[in-house]
Chains A and B, each alone.
Chain A
Amino acid sequence: MIVLDGAPIGLMFLPFIIFICIIAVISVIIVLIIRVIRNNKHKKVLEDLRKQEEENNKNENV
Chain B
Amino acid sequence: MFDNKGMKIKFWIPTILHFLVDFFCIFGLFFHSKNDETYLIGSFIYMILAFAIQPIVGLFIDKFKNEKALTSLSICLVLVGFISMNIYSHAIFSGIGNSLFHVAAGKIILDKSEKSSPLGVFISFGAIGVGLASSFDITIISYISIFLAVVMVFLGVLNLFTNYDTIEYSFENDSKFKDNKTIIIAVVLICFSVIVRGMSAHYNDYSWSLPNVLFYIGLVSFAGKFIGGFIKDYLGEVVLIILSGALSIVAVFFQYNVIMSFIGIFGCNLLMALTLDYIRKAMPNLRATSFGLLANMLTIGTYLGQLLIENHQIGYTIYISLFIYLANIIVLFVVYFLFKKKNLIGGKN
Q: Which residues of A contact B22 (CB under 8 A)?
A: 5
Interface residues of B in 72-92 (CB under 8 A from A): none
Tell whether A49 is near chain B: CB-to-CB under 8 Å: no
Question: B52 to A24, Cβ gap below 8 A?
Answer: yes
Interface string of B41-59 (1 = CB under 8 A from A): 0011011100111111011
CB-nearest residue of chain B to A10: B40
Question: A28 to B55, Cβ gap below 8 A?
Answer: yes
SS class of chain A's interface: helix, strand, loop or mixed? helix
Question: A5 to B306, Cβ gap below 8 A?
Answer: no
Tell whether A21 is near chain B: CB-to-CB under 8 Å: yes
A-B contact count (CB 8 A): 89
CB-nearest residue of chain A to B286: A32
Tell whether A62 is near chain B: CB-to-CB under 8 Å: no
Interface string of B297-326 (1 = CB under 8 A from A): 001101110110010000000000000000
Q: Which residues of A contact B52 (CB under 8 A)?
A: 17, 20-21, 24
Looking at the assembled complex, report how far the CB atom of B228 sits from the nearest CB atom of chain A, in whole angstroms: 17
Question: B43 to A21, Cβ gap below 8 A?
Answer: no
Contacts from B to A (Cβ < 8 Å): 22, 26, 29, 40, 43-44, 46-48, 51-56, 58-59, 126-127, 130-131, 133-134, 201, 214, 218, 286, 289, 293, 296, 299-300, 302-304, 306-307, 310
The 3 closest A-B pairs by CB, nearest first: A6-B130, A6-B134, A10-B40
